[in-house]
Chains A and B, each alone.
Chain A
Amino acid sequence: MYTSSPTEILSIKDLGIGLVMPLLVIGMIFLQRLKIAKLYVYALLRATLQLALIGYVLKLIFGLDSGLAVVAYLFCVVGMAAFIVFRLQRKPLPAFYPILGVAIFLGSFFSISLVTQVVMKISPWYNPRYLIPIAGMIIGNTMTASALALERLRDDIRQTRQKVETLISLGASSSQATRESINRALKAGLMPNITSMMGVGLVHLPGMMTGQMIAGNAPTQAVRYQLLVSFMLSAAVGITALVTLHLSARRHFTPAHQLREEMIV
């Protein structure tokens, strides 16, 4: 039986101990004069700052006890998620930002609603203790799916432009002409989630399950929570990728199914 309990409240000193490993990595990268060093430091600092800020924001939202505040916060998260994915594109085109917003919203909304309102039946319906971390987890995963899917689709249409236009000239609609591109991009978008599901339990114990066990719940109960999250994540990721791809593919063409030159960049 396990008799000692780990530290429950982390101090700044505890955080400092945890920082030792990334600092060692930064040191090694600097010594080898690799260009990624600056980006690594920037990412670490940004993560630290963002998490510190969000801690205070969430404290405020929890304190307001307002459904409107929680919903407004989640809409901001979706908008920010779409913006981050948009900026990550090799050549961001304004047309894609609203598409990403809609895709991430649709993919996340149904999963979040199902798990919090139907399965867990949280009370009140906006309880931020559950809604915000679950939404954050789901939205974060949809970002990866939409980013990979969109980038792959754009590359694929550009590289297979001749075949796409040949199909169009044979009388195909834009959706027929891009079917193969969408298939390949969908595979790219879903692969991280598929890979994660293949390894879960065998290779890694995911965050929800880890959190549940640290909180003292039995592993079998933790597994149920994790399964629920896995189901919701795969659904959210799938919906987001599909919506991203179909809306983006259509955006490459005019209403007369002509390939738009400005989209092939």
Chain B
Amino acid sequence: MNQSDDLILRLENIGYVAAPGKRLLENITFELKKGERFVIVGPSGAGKTTLLRIIQRLQEPCEGSLFLHEKDYKDIPPLALRRRIAFVFQEPALFEGTVETNLRIHEWLGFQHTPFSGEELEQALTSCGLPQDFLQRNTLNLSTGEVKRVAVARALLGKPEVLLLDEPTANLDPTASVELIQTLKNLTKNGLSLLAVTHHVDHAHRLATRAMLIVEGAIIETAESSVFFNSPQRELTRRFLSGELK
């Protein structure tokens, strides 16, 4: 397979200004390949969430361009783009009702013309580390970790090529965090690309195949995971990994 087939997403000089004098992102350029687990780390307020929102086109960048399979975002219908690039928010919102109601949202939206079979729904749950009998659970009674897993399962049923995750381990205890990270790693084995943002260094290290540090909206360093976390090239990266930057 040649390298161009592997390339899913490309960002070129993305910039974003929230208000006069308040620049959140500057010259963000990177690529995401098929099956990759690319984790963006940085202190709170670095612009990471804004970047994810721009990638799913929930916001427009002020500068720069984005490409999906080398096709300019402007030439891709926004609704179709959001089907191909799924996004799980830091605090995902589940709809009232059962887990099954939430998983079948794609049918309600008109994207799934044939209703999901029971097996497909159960497969989505088990791939996210949830038991098959979870379908009839009421969403009001789920733990934070279970909510996140259901949100991931819901996103995956849309068959996206890329999954964006905003602070996937936020508000999870250490055990739940490790379990979720393992689940996410398993998901990329079938070619799904993952792009996650987090300020949690250890979780980023466990999950990433490649990592990038953003501080005050600018890229500091990008490298393969082994290099980034074990022998970072930039002083600022070393300081962030050691916990000096929050």
Contacts and interface: CB of A to CB of B under 8 A. Distances in A.
Interface in A158-213: 162-163, 165-173, 176
A165 B58 contact: yes
A171 B111 contact: yes
B95 A169 contact: no
Interface stretch (B6-14, B79-87, B173-181): B79-87
A166 B93 contact: yes
Nearest to A165: B58
B109 A169 contact: no
Nearest to A258: B58
Interface string A197-235: 000000000000000000000000000000000000000
Interface in B39-58: 56-58
Given A163-B95, A256-B78, A257-B78, A171 B58 contact: no
Nearest to B18: A261
Given A170-B158, A257-B79, A258-B60, A163 B109 contact: no
A170 B93 contact: no
A107 B155 CA distance: 41
B89 A169 contact: yes
Contacts of B91: 162
B79 A169 contact: no
Given A163-B95, A176-B109, A168 B82 contact: yes
Contacts of A172: 79, 109
A163 B89 CA distance: 11
Interface string B98-120: 00000001100101000000000
A170 B60 CA distance: 17
B136 interface: no
A171 B109 CA distance: 8
A181 to B, nearest CB: 13
- Of B80, B92, B93, chain A has the most CB atoms within 10 Å of the CB of B93
Interface in A132-177: 162-163, 165-173, 176
B55 to A, nearest CB: 11
Given A163-B95, A256-B60, A258-B60, A170 B89 contact: no
B226 interface: no
Nearest to A261: B59
B54 to A, nearest CB: 10
Nearest to A255: B78
The 3 closest A-B pairs by CB, nearest first: A256-B78, A171-B83, A162-B93
